[in-house]
Amino acid sequence: MKLFLDTNVVIDVIAAREPFLAESRAVFNLCETGKAEGYISALTLCTVSYVLRKFITARTMRNKLREFRNVLTPIDLTVSLLDKAISSSISDFEYAVQFYTAAYCEADYIITRNVKHFPLDNIPVLTPTDFLALKSLL
């Protein structure tokens, strides 16, 4: 099973952001233990670093990014993906990049806390909580 983790899920884990940490960490752990294949956009590593730069030291940030890079497969940004995102009807460009990256890697699910920002017709989009509940039913 291929899971595409949105930036906010990665931030939840790295920043230990409550009340989202437990569920986001549980999804990450599925990837870490090989129970799922985890993917992120290469953009996610940059965005996480930018968002958390005032809260985490540079050294800690690089260690965390390395940890995530070793567990989750970053998908390179390509001109084609960027063009799709630019031409997309998805209003938020960053979410458009995330969506087309998830489609490119043929993700089975997009895991995010911002379900409403993604189109719901191609790839199932679930919160970490909803995904974990679904997984327990499978």
Q: How much is the mean pLDDT over the chain?
A: 93
Alpha-carbon dihedral 50, 78, 90, 100, rounded to 10 degrees:
-100
Res. 133: pLDDT tops 90 = yes
Res. 28: pLDDT tops 70 = yes
pLDDT digits 0-9 by tens, 51-79: 988 888 889 989 989 988 999 999 999 99
Res. 138: pLDDT tops 70 = no
Mean pLDDT, rounded, for 4-9 = 96
Domains of the chain, by residue range, sit at 2-137
pLDDT value for 137: 62
Torsional sign, CA 69, 110, 18, 11: positive
Q: How confident is the model at residue 127 (pLDDT cuts 50, 70, 90)?
A: very high
pLDDT value for 54: 87
| Residue 82 buriedness (CB in 10 A; 0-12 / 13-18 / 19+) | middle
Res. 4: pLDDT tops 70 = yes
Would you say domain 2-137 falls under CATH 3.40.50.1010? yes
DSSP H helix total and E strand total for the chain? 7, 5
pLDDT value for 55: 87
